[in-house]
Amino acid sequence: MENHVEKIAKAISGLELEDISQLVSKALDAGVDPHEILSAMSSGMTKVGELFEKGEYFLADLVLAGEVMKEGLKVLEPYLKPESIGAKGTVVICTVKGDIHDIGKNLVGTMLSSAGFKVVDLGVNVHEDRIVEAVRQHGAKGVGLSVLLTSMVESIGDVVKALERANLRDRVKIAIGGACTTEELVNRMGVDALGRDAVEAVKIFEGFMS
């Protein structure tokens, strides 16, 4: 059983796009607990993050790892118990208005899903009104905003204000991330946290939910 799980974690960290679906199917056929498979995939992604930090993996490798995760999750998701999906709470994520960079945002989404959050991914260039609507509709307790362009950081403030106007600001915590984000921005925009990578994002949202 360990063999299956190990192979899956290795396939993720080794970026084996063509093999992952079959490995997940085989593990499921062999009776491996789907949640064990999920955590193996997640640990594979953590390894990918470490290799990126070390400079052994590049941006293209990160993107490929995200694609491998996606393929694996496609097979796995129907087998996860519905009550366990989102057991940790609901998080709304997106790339802010005016920006379309989403490599980091997608990795955060994948890592949050595999860590047990229900993730509502609104995509890119998202107007603040859609975020308010999604928070309300899904009862989200966390919001994750991604921004890469320094020219679009003001969009973060627009989200904060829109949540305040809708009387929802007290009910959600907001984390930001992306190349141009800083602690100074966290204070200036009135958000709650800054995440440097997808692994840190999981820790931040776990903290938000407790």
Partner 1 sequence: MKVIACATVAEELLYMGFPEKNMKVLDFALHAEPSKLRERLQAEIDGVEGDCDILLGYGKCSNALEGIKSGNHRLVIPRVEDCIAIFLGSDDEYLRVQREEPGTYYLTKGWVIAQKNALEEYKKLVEKYGEYRAKRVVSAMFANYKRIVLINTGNYELDDFRRFASDMARFLGLTLEEKAGSRRLLEKMIKGQWDREFVVVEKNSSVSFN
Whole-angstrom distance, CA of residue 49 vs CA of residue 43:
10
Whole-angstrom distance, CA of residue 26 vs CA of residue 147:
39
137 binds partner 1 (CB under 8 A): no
17 binds partner 1 (CB under 8 A): yes
Contact set for partner 1, span 166-185 (CB under 8 A)? 179-180, 182
**Which is closer to partner 1, CB of 8 or CB of 172?**
8
98 binds partner 1 (CB under 8 A): yes
Whole-angstrom distance, CA of residue 111 vs CA of residue 202:
7
Whole-angstrom distance, CA of residue 164 vs CA of residue 141:
14
151 binds partner 1 (CB under 8 A): yes
* Residue ranges with strand state E in 51-209: 90-95, 118-121, 142-146, 173-177, 193-195
In the sheet with 90-95, reading across from the earlier edge strand, the strands are 118-121, 90-95, 142-146, 173-177, 193-195
Q: Among residues 28, 51, 85, 103, which is the contact residue for partner 1, using CB under 8 A?
A: 103
- Output the smallest distance, CB 88 to partner 1, in A: 26
206 binds partner 1 (CB under 8 A): no
| Stretch of residues binding partner 1 (CB under 8 A), selected from 5-13, 86-94, 144-152, 200-208 | 144-152
CB-based contact 125:158 (threshold 8 Å): no
**How many Cβ atoms sit within 10 Å of the Cβ of residue 53?**
12
Q: Among residues 34, 72, 99, 198, which is the contact residue for partner 1, using CB under 8 A?
A: 99
CB-based contact 189:159 (threshold 8 Å): no
181: which 2 tokens? 């984000």
129 binds partner 1 (CB under 8 A): no
**Which is closer to partner 1, CB of 114 or CB of 181?**
181
| Stretch of residues binding partner 1 (CB under 8 A), selected from 28-36, 64-72, 131-139, 158-166 | 64-72
CB-neighbour burial class of residue 167 (10 A; exposed 0-12, middle 13-18, buried 19+): exposed
158 binds partner 1 (CB under 8 A): no
30 binds partner 1 (CB under 8 A): no
| Stretch of residues binding partner 1 (CB under 8 A), selected from 11-19, 38-46, 79-87, 165-173 | 11-19
Query: Which residues are at the interface with partner 1 (CB under 8 A)?
Result: 15, 17-18, 59-60, 63-64, 66-67, 97-103, 106, 124-125, 148-152, 179-180, 182
